[in-house]
Structure 1
Amino acid sequence: MTDKTENLYSKFLFIWFGQFISIIGTGLTIFSLGIYVYQQTSTASSYVFILMCVFLPPLLLKPYGGVLADRYDRRLMMVVGDLGATLGLLFIFLIMLRGNIELWQIYLGIATSSIFSAFQEPAYKALITDLLPEAQYAKASGLMQLASSAQYLISPFLAGILLTLIDIEFIFLIDISTLLIASSIVIWVRKTLGRTAIKQSEQNTIADFREGIQEFSKNKGVVNLVITTMFVLFFVGLLQSLFTPMLLNLTTVKTVGISQSICATGILIGSLFIGVFGSKNKHVKTLSISLFISGIFFANLGLSTNIIFITLAGFTFFATLPFINTSIEVLIRKNIDNSKQGRVWSIISTITYLGSIVAFAVAGFLADKIFNPLLELDGLLVETAGLIVGAGKGRGIALMFIISGLMISMIALFIWRNNKIKILEDIEV
């Protein structure tokens, strides 16, 4: 590694650290607000709507954010995204200080903060290609996934402690502080390295967006890979929505929290491994094998009512995700023109996260109206599927997990045999 490369990688690590702590702050807010809203309403739908406010605005706006990330300095776009996210948090904080905050005000504040992530995330993803050589892509991707895991591994644990010591209003101040720190680091790096030279487009935003679609769609291997990822994220979205309700039918709230933290540790271990050792060149092979294994572990979540077995299955499932995500990111990154990566990544994020949004929208209906009734004590599947997953409250969700896991393993076989995806491996940059 040359001195210049080392310097750029060290600057990336500074930026990564800032994003790491801001992700922890965001996780504190999401977890704390979820608890607050559920305690106020006692309905799962109010909690799910928090997730919708977090994920839906970025889904709708990321394509535009990606265009801006290609038209302007990506580090500047990250600063705008982080600082803008503080506005929604300040809104909730001030309303709570006045008392009698209503649900719509909470949802509005969270949605406002989420809107700015539509500008921050595409710029952050594309920034890797600006700063680092291809040999560092996998390590950087692994570290980014490590930071993302903090929202599920560190934030719930910290929030549980902090909520016993301080009022929820001050959680928002902590989140705001982390965003300010992240912005300050990016500003410092931008000042140190200088502004990124951007070739200003003579086209309007719509033309730039159309060009991003063309860049994305012209590579059939990338299209195949992204559409496949969307289906995988649909099943992962079902897990994200229904894992807690299933566990609450089996054990206490405290044990549920411990179980989820242990499961999230799997992401940490996998991300650390990739961040330290990188990833081999056989990314399609790694993706297929990791995805197939993850499907088996996913299915195991529904096979038992033993919390230790479920937690172990969850840990191993989450441990495979960094290998899957890194393989997908490297395959896409090396096949997309750097000058268009901001808008292309935003399009890719929009398509893939559509799977999660659809899962959030249908998970409650599928569980409450279809699968759970089938495995109640007098349900139609008690004498068949019930012999495998058991009968009683929440076992329909377990059946959903088994089916979802098997579907993910089938998707892995599709990738293994897809020649258009295999060609992505052969591109040299």
Structure 2
Amino acid sequence: MTDGSRDLYSRFLLIWFGQFISIIGTGLTIFSLGIYVYQQTNTASSYVFILICAFLPPLLLKPYGGILADRYDRRLMMIIGDLGATLGLIFIFYMMLDGNIELWHIYLGIAASSVFTAFQEPAYKALITDLLPEAQYAKASGLMQLASSAQYLISPFLAGILLTVIDIEFIFLIDVTTLVIASSIVILIKRTLGKVTIQRPKQNLMADFREGFQEFSRNKGVVSLVITTMFVLFFVGLLQSLFIPMLLNLTTIKAVGISQSICATGILLGSLSIGLFGSKNKHVTTLSFSLLVSGIFFAGLGLSMNMIFVTLAGFMFFATLPFINTSIEVLIRRNIDNRKQGRVWSIISMVTYLGSIMAFAVAGFLADKIFNPLLVLNGPLAETVGLIIGVGEGRGIALMFIISGSMISVVALMIRQNQKIGQLEDTAGQIG
């Protein structure tokens, strides 16, 4: 690594650290609010609606955020995104202090904050390609996955402790502080690094969007990979939205936080492995195998009511995610023109987020109205499936996890047979 590359990598690490602590703050807010809302309503639907508010605005706005990330300084877009996200948190904090907080206040505040991630996330992803040479993409991606894991590794455990000594509204102030720190680091890097020497065309927003969509759609392998990812994220979205409600029917809030943190340790170990050693060149093979294994452990989450078994299955499932995400990111990053990556990443995020949004839209209904009633005491499946996975509140969610994990393993086998995805390995590195 040359001195110039080492200096750029050091700057990337500073930016990464800022995002790392801001993700911890976001995790504190999401976990605390999720527990608060579920306790108030005792329905999966109300809990899932928090996730809808967090994911739907970025889905709708990210194409424009990506365009702006290609037209303007990507570091400036990150600053705007981080500082803007504090507004919704401050609103929730004020309403709780006022003593008149209602559910719609929480949903509105989360939605307002998430709007600004539409500007921050595409710029953050594209900035990596600005700062680093191709040889460091996999390491950077691994570290980014490590930062993402903090929301599940550190935040639940920390939130469980903090909620015993402070009121929930002060969790939002911690989140605001972390966002300010993250934006301050980017401001510092922006001042010391100067302008990034990448030429970007000046044209209207719709022309930029069309150009980004054309860049995305011209590579059939990328399109096929993104659609496959969307399909997988539908099932992962069911896990994301229903895992905590299932656990709350098995144990205490404190134990839920500990279990989720232990599960996320798997992401930590996988991300550290990639961050320190990189990943092998056969990313399609790594993706297929990792998806196959992840599906098996996903299904394992629903097989038992024993918290040790569930936590171990969750740990193994999360350990596969960094290898899946890194393989997908590297295959896409190496096949897309850097000058258009902000726009393309925003389109890719929009498409893949559809899987999660569809899961969030139906998860509460499927759990509360269809699957959970099947496995209550004397339910239609209590004497068949219930003999294997147990009966009671939340066991319908467990059945959903078994089905979802099985489907992910099927997708993994299909990737091995997809020639368009396989060609991404052969053409990687040929895009300027």
TM-score when normalising by structure 2: 0.95
- Aligned-partner residue type, residue 127 of structure 1: L
Distance 1:39 1:382, change over 3 A: closer
Aligned residue in 1 for 2:90 = 90
Deviates further, 102-111 or 152-161: 102-111
Distance 1:275 1:355, change over 3 A: same
Aligned residue in 2 for 1:136 = 136
Pair 1:181 & 2:181 matched:
yes
Query: How many angstroms does 1:198 deviate by?
Result: 4.7
Query: How many angstroms does 1:395 deviate by?
Result: 2.3
User: Residue 74 of structure 2 contacts residue 123 of structure 2 at CA under 8 Å; is this kept in 1?
Assistant: yes
Aligned residue in 1 for 2:251 = 251
Map Cα deviations across residues 58-92 of structure 1 (whole Å, 9 max, x no partner). Answer: 11111110010011111111011111111212222
User: Residue 83 of structure 2 contacts residue 183 of structure 2 at CA under 8 Å; is this kept in 1?
Assistant: yes
Number of aligned positions between the proteins: 429
- Aligned-partner residue type, residue 46 of structure 2: S
Q: Secondary structure at the match of 2:163?
A: helix
Q: Secondary structure at the match of 2:242?
A: helix
Q: Secondary structure at the match of 1:378?
A: coil
Deviates further, 253-262 or 77-86: 253-262
User: Residue 31 of structure 1 contacts residue 156 of structure 1 at CA under 8 Å; is this kept in 2?
Assistant: yes
Deviates further, 186-195 or 252-261: 252-261
Q: Distance in 2 between matches of 1:63 and 1:424?
A: 24
Aligned residue in 2 for 1:146 = 146
User: Residue 23 of structure 1 contacts residue 147 of structure 1 at CA under 8 Å; is this kept in 2?
Assistant: yes
Map Cα deviations across residues 308-334 of structure 1 (whole Å, 9 max, x no partner). Answer: 111111100000000000000000000
Q: In the TM superposition, what are the counterparts of 1:297-376 in structure 2 within 5 Å?
A: 297-376=297-376
Deviates further, 73-82 or 235-244: 235-244
Distance 1:202 1:425, change over 3 A: same
Aligned residue in 2 for 1:169 = 169
- Aligned-partner residue type, residue 55 of structure 2: F
Q: Secondary structure at the match of 1:165?
A: coil
Map Cα deviations across residues 194-249 of structure 1 (whole Å, 9 max, x no partner). Answer: 12235343321011111111110110000000000011111111111222222233
User: Residue 230 of structure 2 contacts residue 351 of structure 2 at CA under 8 Å; is this kept in 1?
Assistant: yes
Pair 1:260 & 2:260 matched:
yes
**Mind listing any 5+ residue stretches in structure 1 that lack a counterpart?**
none
Aligned residue in 1 for 2:127 = 127
TM-score when normalising by structure 1: 0.96
Aligned residue in 1 for 2:31 = 31
Aligned residue in 2 for 1:77 = 77
Q: Distance in 1 between matches of 2:42 and 2:395?
A: 22
**Mind listing any 5+ residue stretches in structure 2 that lack a counterpart?**
none
Distance 1:380 1:100, change over 3 A: closer
Map Cα deviations across residues 262-285 of structure 1 (whole Å, 9 max, x no partner). Answer: 111111111111111110101000
Pair 1:224 & 2:224 matched:
yes
Pair 1:11 & 2:4 matched:
no
Q: Distance in 2 between matches of 1:169 and 1:230?
A: 35
Q: Secondary structure at the match of 1:424?
A: helix
User: Residue 156 of structure 2 contacts residue 260 of structure 2 at CA under 8 Å; is this kept in 1?
Assistant: no
Q: Distance in 1 between matches of 2:375 and 2:128?
A: 48
Query: How many angstroms does 1:47 deviate by?
Result: 2.2
Query: How many angstroms does 1:111 deviate by?
Result: 1.0
User: Residue 80 of structure 2 contacts residue 119 of structure 2 at CA under 8 Å; is this kept in 1?
Assistant: yes
